[in-house]
Structure 1
């Protein structure tokens, strides 16, 4: 799967929200899309995912310009004012809602099992706003990845919450190693701190996406038959 946006821009009511931008990403790849913090990040995420029609340019998934297909295959994580959760709700409530959207079991037991599986059971009763920054981004990304049809994930300005950029970049690489295409929008300062070449909001130039090797399957261990083990006879003096 490959997403390619060419020369997309979004006009706002008083000023451009997103200047002409081009970006591409495929399976097992991570792209940083960096720029000044502001509405351009959300406009880019919505335009790339078929949730907002750009005023110029095109967005194609495997060569098809199909907004419905983009919305089906691409998930936008934690976009301010769009897909970010209500921070006043408990973590377990947010998880239940997201699991239900993903078409999975979403009862109390299922929520506890999911949180336990993702090493987050200790946070179940907390207000979402009280989650550690890295845990917040990881939980939202993993809940998005739980949706069956999602093939590409856009993490929207995770650095706006503070924390260490290396943590959400490692999350992006982990998702890519599992087969997803990943776009992370962030501030220029975060990209410089990571030392990773980044595509730019408002630019048509893009470095090659970072390719992440897939996770190798674990080879099963073949049990040793006791009949195959040589018998060592003890020598008597």
Structure 2
């Protein structure tokens, strides 16, 4: 389980990230809303262990250190941080990203076989900026999961690529609810999609007067959501992207 108890990041004048509390377990997709891109990115960096908060804590499976969180988390498509460069082809992006997978897993990861096995051969020659939103989300999350140690996906502002949540929501739901490899998935967004009834939070939601212990009373593993919960949210944007 990912547990954030009022993490905050200072800016020059105002907080870059105001205190925000949330939790998400394996088998869950949490959407976190925020009006400002810099705040959404700051939260994504903190939740993925790429930035230390100035206040508050973030823990993964009960471990408060940043190393366990960073090992478990993959930051996906964060603008100005690790979003694909426009001049890269899909094939080149795959080659670069697979080279970042920990060495003990890297031997079997070659770009051409990976593209074929994961069904991206048809877009290998495209520039990354030419990918439709759904294919972009599918590609970048698949690359994040090339590391078998990834248990947490933090996707930064996937709705910036288009107003239709069909470009990202079905894929993230699919990954969170995968019975074979359920993931904890967090996406920062501008606003909740119409009809969304799943878990959500808002940047700056932490009341400074509340106790940090009021969140995440159980930091251990949690079971995936019930089939009724999945069914309730499965009709928001049509079929899951394959």
The answer, yes or no, to whether TM exceeds 0.5 is yes
Preserved contact between residue 2 and residue 25 of structure 2 (Cα < 8 Å) = yes
Q: 1:32–1:88: structure 2 CA closer, same or farther, 3 Å change rule? A: same
User: Which whole-Å CA distance do the structure 1 matches of 2:11 and 2:27 have between them?
Assistant: 33
1:184 to 169, 183, 187: 187
Quote the residue 2:136 is aligned against. 136
Are the equivalent residues in 2 in contact too, given 1:76–1:155 (CA < 8 A)? yes
Between the aligned partners of 1:92 and 1:175, the Cα distance in structure 2 is 23
Aligned-partner SS, 2:9: strand
> Match for residue 235 of structure 2?
none
Deviation at 1:118, TM superposition (A): 2.5
**CA separation in 1, counterparts of 2:193 and 2:182?**
26
Cα RMSD after superposing both structures: 2.2
Partner secondary structure for residue 33 of structure 1: strand
Corresponding residue number in structure 2 for 1:77: 76
1:134-213 alignment to 2 at 5 Å?
A: 134-176=134-176, 177=178, 178-188=181-191, 191-197=192-198, 198-204=200-206, 211=225
CA distance in structure 2 between the partners assigned to 1:192 and 1:129 by the alignment: 24
- Post-superposition offset of 1:31: 0.4
Whole-Å Cα distance in 2 between the matches of residues 96 and 8 of structure 1? 35
The secondary structure found in structure 2 opposite 1:21 is coil
Q: Is 1:64 the counterpart of 2:78 in the alignment?
A: no
In the TM superposition, residue 90 of structure 1 has moved relative to its aligned partner by 0.8
CA distance in 1, matches of 2:147, 2:12: 34
The 8 Å contact of residues 24 and 185 in structure 2, kept in 1 or not, is answered as yes
TM-score, scaled relative to structure 2 = 0.78
Equivalenced residues, count: 206
Q: Which runs of 4+ in 1 moved over 4 A?
A: none
Deviation, structure 1 residue 120: 2.0
SS of structure 1 residue aligned to 2:168? helix
SS in 2 for 1:138: helix
SS in 2 for 1:16: coil
CA distance in 1, matches of 2:33, 2:225: 18
Distance 1:121 1:167 in 2: 20
Give 1:52's aligned residue: 51
The superposition leaves residues 123-150 of structure 1 with CA deviations (integer Å, 9 ceiling, x where unpaired) of: 1111111111111111011100111211
1:186 Cα deviation after fit: 0.5
Higher relative contact order, structure no. (Cα contacts within 8 Å, ≥ 6 residues apart): 2
| Structure 2: segments with no counterpart, 5+ residues | 208-214, 216-221, 228-242
Q: CA 1:30–1:42 in 2, change beyond 3 Å: closer, same or farther?
A: same
Distance (Å, rounded) in 2 between the aligned partners of 1:93 and 1:22: 38
